[in-house]
A and B are shown apart, each in its own frame.
Chain A
Amino acid sequence: MNLPRWIPSEDGEEAALLRELGIASTEELFADVPRKARMGRLGVGAGLDERGVVETIDGILEKNRPYTQFASFLGGRFPTRYVPAAVDAILSRSEFYTSYTPYQPEASQGILQSLFEFQSLWVELTGMDAANASLYDGATAAGEALLLSRRIHPGERFLIPASLPWEEKSVLANYGGPHGVRLEEIPFDHRTGCLDLGAFRTAVLKGDVFGALVDLPNGFGGLDEGLPELKGILGEVPLTVVADPLALTVLEAPGSWGADIVVGEGQGFGATPSFGGPLLGLFACRRAHLRLSPGRIVGATQDRDGRRAFTLTLQTREQHIRRSRATSNICTNQSLLALAFLTYASTVGPRGLAQLAAQLHARAEELATALRAVPGLKVPRFDAPHLADVPVEVAHGTATEFLERLRGRKVLGGVPLADPRPAKSGDASKWFLASATEWTDARSIAKYAAAAETSAGATS
């Protein structure tokens, strides 16, 4: 039997432990497991040595075609960005990545100060009063925002844009459903893709609304100029904004135009897409609502000698103390991703981030111009200003079919917008988001346009 060297197996070690306990074999330690509950073999095969494991995993991963092998325009809520080597060097410090939730703050100042800095950065970007130390992803952060809104304001209806990505709608339905929350979709203007403000106002006036959520950019990649007017319509009803962190380096902080809660997806700052996980949920709110808010929070304090120190605080909101009356069930969150977010932003710096936003915008414009000339594509499908993402409609067939044909020409043309569940797709089956990336240049755009020419008209 060849066990991994991760289990100590020095000769006689196990025997010494057994001897000390005065028993003959480890089987005696399982005498309390009833015979009828015993299992047979696991049936998972024999273990492999490290070389064999590497060969096996590499053999499977070879069947993937990473987006780096294509002219790739994938993005939307999950951007594909270059991650500076310094970020991974810091994340690879095993004092960070092999530690856990800092229950012993004196021995965990490294991660605590880092999380404090992470909270500080999200506060600066959003213009909010306070941030937590992370949630699972942007969608679950939106779900927690819904629950916080419900604690802040009475009512049963929660307003969301009809353009919100389908996954986020589904997650919101799962967070609100058990509490009798009704999600109400506000339609979008068919030309701009922006929220129909008249419909929004009507929905609010009907009453019984406890919160509203909007996104920036929206599900079509659009920057909606109407958002700063929403708080005036909502009054006391809390407004949640789902915001992209890179967009916030060039756009006004939502806190300054009425947001009560700002959430977002942080994967684009320092984490590779890794097939969709791990991701990073960003969450910030107003100080008045802090005690009702979810998640771990790090605060500054001092030690016995008067030195500045950091610790988890407001823990009386949390599950390990408050149990069924906790503000959330969050225990493990996404700390290491928060560290990635922070070290990415530090390494790139504020000028670099704003330049990146400007650069992606310029390339998205070039991309839109090139694709507009392709027969069979409507570009942009919605004409609100956009940052890096361009909404496209295909005239023939579905977006997914079109994107698969592009794939055959070494182009990953974008992310389909339709809900892939049967009978759920509707109009959106013809729409996708094409995103500019740091790799987008004149050559890759030309390649995309050429591939689209031959793919857009085809019906097969």
Chain B
Amino acid sequence: MTFRQARWDEPLLWEIRPPAETPAPPAAIPGIPEKLRRQTGVRWPELSEPEVVRHYTRLSQMNFGIDTSIYPLGSCTMKYNPKVSEVLARRPGAAFVHPYQPESTVQGSLEIIYRLEKALTRVTGLPEVSLQPAAGAHGEYAALLMIRAYFEERGELSRRTEVLLPDTAHGTNPASAAMAGFTAREIPSKDGCVDLAELKAAVSDKTAAFMLTNPNTAGLFESEILGIAETVHGAGGLLYYDGANLNAILGVTNPGKMGFDVAHLNLHKTFATPHGGGGPGAGVLAAGATLAPYLPVPRVVRKGRAYSLDYDRPKSIGKIKSAYGNFGLDLRAYVFLISHGEEGLRAISQRAVLNANYLGHRLGDLLPRPFRPLVKHEFVLSGTPLKARGLRTLDLAKRLLDEGVHAPTIYFPSLVDESLMFEVPETESKRELDELAAAFRRAIGDTEENLHAAPCSTSVARIDEVLAAKQLLLSWKDLRSPPATAPAPPTRSGP
């Protein structure tokens, strides 16, 4: 163990140079009505630029990123974010372009969107793509609105109230279904995959859609996908592809070939746009012929050599956010795509799947693997045996942090007891995988006492999450004067 994370006693911005209790109001602006004018200034500290830069530089040193360590978070596809993309997204021709400039001045942006959309129709095997959704869950939501509009037009909406999904589905799937006004109904899995018999029993003329990710969240390819598609379509329902796990199948198969009607892709996963500490993402939508007329407006179209924004789509659901999507990320994704090309995209999935199977093989003798060993881009272990030692998966995850590597996703998928879910994308070398395996071996072999005490090399020790939820101190204001219901805030007692 040689890892130590920075451990600054970094105050909040407000604590560096506290503002006045009631700051003077800003100078009156002539013409601004007195009734609306601020009576006291904003309580916000006045700091010099070096103070600000030091503050955030120190905070950054207390953060794991892909650039500091392997980040095997399952279902998140934490792959290396190419630096050239960062340079290009900051070009004046990309950054200093307003969404509502005249079309004649944004031909380059429109061309990037058009080219990326066309390339993604190839990747997905679905004929039309929209880049508008801001994130994967937002793409799910938009697609379900399109499905609503489709059934509404057919006069079937009052009947088709159910969205089916496997019990392994990402939490966003049932949440999106509910937001879109459907009843989410979970189908039990068998050996980690959709139980076709259960699905057959569940579909009916109430079924609006079946949402599925393939490979699924257990890392398994749903080999009965064609039967699944036939079953859903046979009941008059539509098949939705959650593209969170697309990194496993590039160039091997695609949602179109598998029979899906609509899909979302996460550009921040498969196409390596930075995850940004939790966003921004980009949740591209791809639609087959049935649903394409319902895609959000505008659509980017080409006439001759000119690109334009087409708002004349009478069946469109309209807008699901302002402007045209997260263009800065679309550009980065396009950079990633043309850097790889045909052979490179295929190589991504070949290597990502090879990495996952290799690591699964290396770790499989340390904890049980609840499903078949052949996986795609990720695999699941069960931490159940830890219980006999008075330990939980959480302890193992925290102990891994002390090795200087990020923990895998834990407690998901929930059908596996004490689950750990590893994804090691194509950008990880054998040396990194071997080091992760060795770290895991050291962690699980450590004493119960040390596992309970972990982490001890991160910027803070084990965090009390229950206390956070109990006291609900959610801002500097709360720390200064805790809300009535909360106990006194913690005091600083760092070294």
Contacts and interface: CB of A to CB of B under 8 A. Distances in A.
B494 A307 contact: yes
A167 B324 CA distance: 11
Contacts of B374: 29, 31-32
Interface string A315-341: 110111111111011111111110100
Contacts, number: 701
Contact of B60 (A45, A110, A324): A110
B291 to A, nearest CB: 15
Quick one: which of A41, A60, A105 has the most chain B CB within 10 A?
Answer: A60
Interface in B60-96: 60-68, 71, 73, 76, 78-82, 84, 86-96
A119 interface: yes
A8 to B, nearest CB: 4
A70 B353 CA distance: 50
A454 interface: no
Among A57, A168, A349: residue with most chain B CB under 10 A: A57
Contacts of A290: 472, 474
A319 B125 contact: no
Nearest to A125: B42
Nearest to B148: A178
Contacts of B247: none
Given A7-B426, A300-B473, A311-B468, A346 B47 contact: yes
A403 B92 CA distance: 22
A23 to B, nearest CB: 9
B187 to A, nearest CB: 14
Interface in A116-158: 116-117, 119-121, 123-125, 129-131, 133-134, 136-140, 147
Contact of B31 (A89, A129, A324, A385): A385
B443 interface: no
A275 B475 contact: no
Nearest to B477: A123
A24 interface: no
Contact of A78 (B61, B98, B460, B464): B98
Contacts of B12: 113, 116-117, 120
B473 A422 contact: no
B181 A178 contact: yes
B290 interface: no
A442 interface: no
B430 A17 contact: yes
A297 B474 CA distance: 8
Contacts of B98: 67, 72, 74, 78, 80, 273, 275-276, 412, 415
B253 interface: yes
Contacts of A179: 181
A277 B284 CA distance: 13
A275 B76 CA distance: 27
Interface in A59-79: 60-68, 70, 72, 74, 76-78
Given A6-B427, A139-B319, A346 B52 contact: yes
Of A95, A113, A328, most B-chain CB atoms within 10 Å: A95
B483 A287 contact: yes
A3 B347 contact: yes
A170 B175 contact: no
B222 to A, nearest CB: 9
Contacts of B419: none
B278 to A, nearest CB: 4
Given A307-B461, A311-B468, A329 B137 contact: yes
A173 B67 CA distance: 41
A21 B361 contact: yes
Contacts of B251: 39, 41-42
Interface residues of B, number: 213
Interface in B82-133: 82, 84, 86-102, 104-109, 111-112, 115, 119, 122-123, 125
Contacts of B64: 95, 99, 104, 107-108
A136 B123 contact: no
Given A174-B319, A273-B96, A329 B257 contact: no
Interface in B205-258: 220-221, 223, 225-226, 249-254, 257-258
Q: Name which of B180, B250, B280 has the most chain A CB atoms within 10 A of its CB.
A: B280
Given A178-B148, A420-B311, A300 B325 contact: no
A64 B93 contact: yes
A102 interface: yes
Nearest to A360: B29
A353 B32 CA distance: 16
A298 to B, nearest CB: 7
Contacts of A460: none
A416 interface: yes
Nearest to B79: A6
Given A171-B321, A332-B268, A95 B53 contact: no
Contacts of B221: 30, 32-33
Nearest to A45: B341
Contact of A61 (B108, B320, B323, B463): B108
Nearest to B283: A332
Given A38-B252, A47-B338, A332 B95 contact: no
Contact of A140 (B108, B134, B275): B134
B44 A350 contact: yes
A319 B65 CA distance: 24
Contact of A361 (B31, B115, B464, B477): B31
Contact of B274 (A45, A265, A336): A336
Contact of A305 (B134, B341, B461): B461
B490 A333 contact: no
Given A63-B107, A304-B462, A412-B102, A178 B401 contact: no
B2 interface: no
- Output the residue of B98, B358, B492 with the most chain A CB within 10 A: B98
Given A8-B428, A100-B71, A313-B472, A296 B278 contact: yes
Given A322-B175, A335-B277, 10 more contacts: A46-B342, A67-B98, A76-B100, A102-B278, A249-B42, A250-B38, A279-B134, A308-B492, A319-B171, A346-B13
Give the 3 A-B CB pairs with smallest separation, nearest first: A276-B323, A178-B181, A47-B341
